[in-house]
Amino acid sequence: MLNGSPANVAGAPESSKGPRRPRNRRPAWLADAAGGPDRVPRCIALDGDPATVTRQHGRRNGRQHGERHGRLRRRPNNGMNLTSALPRFARWHGRRSQVMPSVGPTLESAMKVGALVLAIPLSAMATDAPTRPSVPYVSRGACPGECCEYGNIWTAKADTEVQVGPRVKSPVAFQLRKGDTVLAMTGMVVTTKLGRAVVRRPTRLGVELQRDAGPSDEVFVLYRRGEGAWRIWLRGRLDDEELPTEEEQCATDGGRPIECEVQIVARPETVWWSKVRARNGREGWTRQMKHFRGVYSCGE
């Protein structure tokens, strides 16, 4: 040994520049701050703990890589919010925290504006509710008339054309002969012109909702349900109600004629479509209900 320097290993000649620094050696403070020798600090997380980067990012430029790509390892917040964490984040990078004195108020203002923007469409939807149904109004699954129900077998009383879709100009899918049977699958009632009923005295309307109605309310009639019952529209809600027509007259229990509380003054115009399936499996739509027997389970 010369001048107290360590001896050469395996007889290697001494270097004139002194002993070389090991390649994998790193400062102890880096290993301690990162939690071990395999990781180095890259950037501080919002909760004050150092976010880390693996050794593949390099020992020297690991911090620069983290700053360039901005990839922070997510850690528990520990009760700290974004407003209080941003100044600490800025100080760690050597920036002056005074450059962001209005971060908190700005975030709070943005949150208030966002809540206001989200609340505007909800209030607009509440005030812009339709006051009357749009026509044509389609009531899917409706089966008008007393004892009308789907799922039964209908028998054709005359030759009937079955169309591809529930449209007047829809092409013909197949044709039924007299005596052919079909399965009534489902149907719909299309209201092409709304009916109207007037309320002459305050009363309650609707079998299910029992809503208060007065002379100022508009009651629209969609289609006939059967046995004097009609499908009505009252202030955006649908319900059933027994209503007398314009030809009918109301009377007391003793038979004395009186003015009706609610009465239909204009009947609706509707088209009833039913989807049927033939014995060979073909399906289609028809609106010629008078050509079938068995439409109403309680008799024709």
pLDDT of residue 255: 84
Which sequence spans correspond to the domains of the chain? Answer: 22-99, 131-194+268-300, 196-266
pLDDT of residue 91: 63
In this prediction the pTM is 0.57
The predicted model gives 101-120 an average pLDDT of 54
Q: Are 285 and 170 in contact (CB under 8 A)?
A: yes
pLDDT of residue 256: 87
pLDDT of residue 297: 83
Using 50, 70 and 90 to split pLDDT, how confident is the model at 48?
very low
Q: What contacts 91, CB < 8 A, 6 or more positions away?
A: 97
CA atoms of 246 and 267, how far apart (whole Å): 9
pLDDT of residue 280: 94
Domain topology for 131-194+268-300: SH3 type barrels. (2.30.30)
Using 50, 70 and 90 to split pLDDT, how confident is the model at 298?
confident
pLDDT tens, 207-231? 988 999 999 999 999 999 988 899 9
pLDDT of residue 234: 94
The predicted model gives 34-57 an average pLDDT of 46
CA atoms of 183 and 154, how far apart (whole Å): 6
CA atoms of 291 and 184, how far apart (whole Å): 13
